[in-house]
Structure 1
Amino acid sequence: MYMEFYKLNGRPFQLTPDPRFYFDTRTHKKAMAYLTYGINQGEGFIIITGDIGAGKTTLVGHLFDALDKTRFLLAKIVSTQLDADNTLKMVANAFGIGTDGLEKSAILHRIEDFLRSQHREGRRVLLIVDEVQNLPVSALEELRMLSNFQEGNRALLQIFLLGQPEFRDKLALSPELEQLRQRVIATHHLEPMQEEEVPGYVYHRLKLCGWQNDPMFTPEAFSLMFEYSGGVPRRLNNLCSRVLLFGALEELHEIDEKVVREVIDDLKKDQTPTTGPKHISQVDTVSGVGPMRSNIPPKVRAELAAAASEVYLNGAEAHILRRLEVLERYVRQHDRTIRQMLDILSEWAENASDSYSKTGTDAQ
């Protein structure tokens, strides 16, 4: 809905990773430098870690979008507590290699044959393993074994490992992963963006969706958005989507601190198990409604709870009704548009029918 109000041609803050929305923060610049270095080396493992929603997938997607597809072949798997054998099967399937009914040795042979055929055709093969923190040591060792395939002095497969911060601990503290550690040629941990980077990030994504300076954000709004999100892109995207929806409902063209704070309060309520009148009736110990005042007679407690609920609802009623009024106005606009389209189609169908009948009569 906010896309229509702000005349956007896409969703600027979708949660699904999209390399098109890549934004070059300081930490992303450093990560890109390490990734580029690793690709130029043409061997070993490259590791990118970061908290949930830090933008690991978007970063790597942006890198590979820039690669020459005639020179590089890319496959990706997302690990979900796979054992070593199933990890191997997933790798093979990602490259289009069939594994049904095959023993492990046969799968390895097929993968090796595939890698050598790509090498002969002048292509380098890259594999992304996402959510790598879920893999057991045995599966990580299986990936290391795949990196042993070589043609002369050139590795036939290069592997990118993407994971959450705990993977760094697993890699550093597991004695069984010593050989894998020695194969890592580049690593970087994605940090949250800095506060001064938030305005550029928000406007960058809006511009990619046709933004024409509507809405504008105040500096105080950006500060509060950073405070809530901690600079984590996914949390910021979620907040921005809700802010734009709120702005459209209220028909706002400037987003200030008050708007962002109200949206944040709504988000916090969404994440609270009990809210609204029920919450008030259970925990408002000041008014004597909550469990700490259990000595109050049940009839009096019920009356107090009802009164507290009424106060809560009356305080929110005007705001809710105002939002509903805006929504209803949009629905009416859509209904009018649909009726106009149906009238046009009906008129077109009648004209076509008359024309067909006339043609038939002339033919007779």
Structure 2
Amino acid sequence: MYEEYWQLETKPFEPTSDRRFLFPCPAHTSALHKLRYAVENRRPAALLAGTAGIGKTLLWHTLEVQLGESLGKRAHLVFPLMSSREMLAFLAEQLGAPLHDTRPTVEESLNALQTVLVENRERGKLAIFAVDEAHLLEDAGLLEPLRLLMNLRDGYEPLFTLLLIGQVAALSTMERANDLDERLEMKVLLKPFSSEETAGYIEHRLVAAGATRPLFTSQALELAHQLTGGIPRRINRLCDLALLVSFAAQESQIDGAQLRAVQSELLTLAPAA
């Protein structure tokens, strides 16, 4: 709607897995290197934690792209409201494991997973099981199937890397599950952007969308950090609405006053607690 007015090729603050929009801040780049190291070196498990909206899912998709053809079997579970049996059967189905029953037992699913993962390993390929919303697994009683999965090995070698993705509470969830926590060879905590990183993030996404001039004043960039706490999802929401409102008002640039007015509108629209 506002792209033509601001001379943009696309909306800069839409949720996307397009790597052009991945802001290479040091913390996120370091997190990506650590996760890639864990997978490429066939470590049994890793944990990626951070506040909601901080960019964990985008980081996971970027990891998939970076691993490229070396990554064979992969499965991504977004907090499944299912039993242990259903969860293991779902994983087996996602990986194309040979199941001969529409309602396989836990043992049948594990055997099928073992078969397909050994074949994947023999082809020299990597494998990842990514489980989102990992901070909720304990309450859902889904830690036990993870324990069973972690026992899938080829001799002493893990057949896959379990990547747990969740909010900060996932760290304490795993600490309580001591046996699983000991297998986490990599724990990565994503922190909010600093003021400088917030400004860099906004400018990076604008340029990726085709901007050829500054659309936010330096005052607005600094204020954006104060209003969002450096959380990418909040930054996206604020800046997207600011571009729309300022387009409607035919402004040439977005300043601090306009950004504060937009934030007030967002707070008005927010659902009551």
Q: Give the TM-score, by structure 1 length.
A: 0.69
| Structure-to-structure mapping, 1:232-311, within 5 angstroms | 232-271=231-270
1:71 CA drift (Å): 4.5
SS of alignment partner, residue 186 of structure 2: strand
Structure 2 distance, partners of 1:28, 1:268, is 28
1:248 CA drift (Å): 1.1
Structure 1 distance, partners of 2:194, 2:74, is 32
Structure 2 distance, partners of 1:55, 1:18, is 13
Residue in 2 aligned with 1:13? 13
Structure 2 distance, partners of 1:22, 1:146, is 32
| Structure-to-structure mapping, 1:83-122, within 5 angstroms | 83-97=83-97, 98=99, 100-122=102-124
| Structure-to-structure mapping, 1:50-129, within 5 angstroms | 50-97=50-97, 98=99, 100-129=102-131
CA contact (8 A) 2:242 2:259 kept: yes
CA contact (8 A) 1:45 1:186 kept: yes
Bigger relative contact order, structure 1 or 2, given CA contacts below 8 A and separation 6+? 2
Residue in 2 aligned with 1:136? 138
* CA gap 1:252/1:56 in 2 versus in 1, 3 angstroms: same
Residue in 2 aligned with 1:155? 158
Structure 2 distance, partners of 1:73, 1:204, is 33
Residue in 2 aligned with 1:25? 25
1:226 CA drift (Å): 0.7
Q: How many percent identity over aligned positions? A: 29
* CA gap 1:14/1:72 in 2 versus in 1, 3 angstroms: same
Letter in 2 for 1:240: C
1:75 CA drift (Å): 2.0
* CA gap 1:73/1:11 in 2 versus in 1, 3 angstroms: farther
Residue in 1 aligned with 2:39? 39
SS of alignment partner, residue 86 of structure 1: helix
* CA gap 1:5/1:231 in 2 versus in 1, 3 angstroms: same
Letter in 1 for 2:195: E
Structure 2 residue aligned with 1:165, among 149, 163, 168? 168
Q: Is the radius of gyration larger for structure 1 or structure 2?
A: 1
Letter in 2 for 1:268: L
1:242 CA drift (Å): 0.2
CA contact (8 A) 1:26 1:193 kept: no
Structure 1 distance, partners of 2:263, 2:59, is 27
Structure 1 distance, partners of 2:200, 2:56, is 19
Q: Which runs of 5+ in 2 are unaligned?
A: none
* CA gap 1:74/1:81 in 2 versus in 1, 3 angstroms: same
Residue in 1 aligned with 2:223? 224
CA contact (8 A) 1:217 1:256 kept: yes
CA contact (8 A) 1:81 1:136 kept: no
CA contact (8 A) 2:117 2:159 kept: yes
1:120 CA drift (Å): 1.8
1:267-304 deviation digits (Å, cap 9, x = unpaired): 1222276xxxxxxxxxxxxxxxxxxxxxxxxxxxxxxx
1:104 CA drift (Å): 1.8
* CA gap 1:109/1:272 in 2 versus in 1, 3 angstroms: closer
* CA gap 1:126/1:20 in 2 versus in 1, 3 angstroms: farther
Letter in 2 for 1:10: T
Residue in 2 aligned with 1:201? 201
1:11 CA drift (Å): 1.9
1:197 CA drift (Å): 0.9
1:16 CA drift (Å): 5.0
1:19 CA drift (Å): 4.3
Structure 1 distance, partners of 2:50, 2:189, is 5
1:71-106 deviation digits (Å, cap 9, x = unpaired): 443221111343322221222232134561222211
Q: Which runs of 5+ in 1 are unaligned?
A: 274-364
Letter in 1 for 2:53: G
Q: Give the TM-score, by structure 2 length.
A: 0.91
1:106-142 deviation digits (Å, cap 9, x = unpaired): 1111111111111122211111111112223742231
1:53 CA drift (Å): 0.2
SS of alignment partner, residue 127 of structure 2: strand
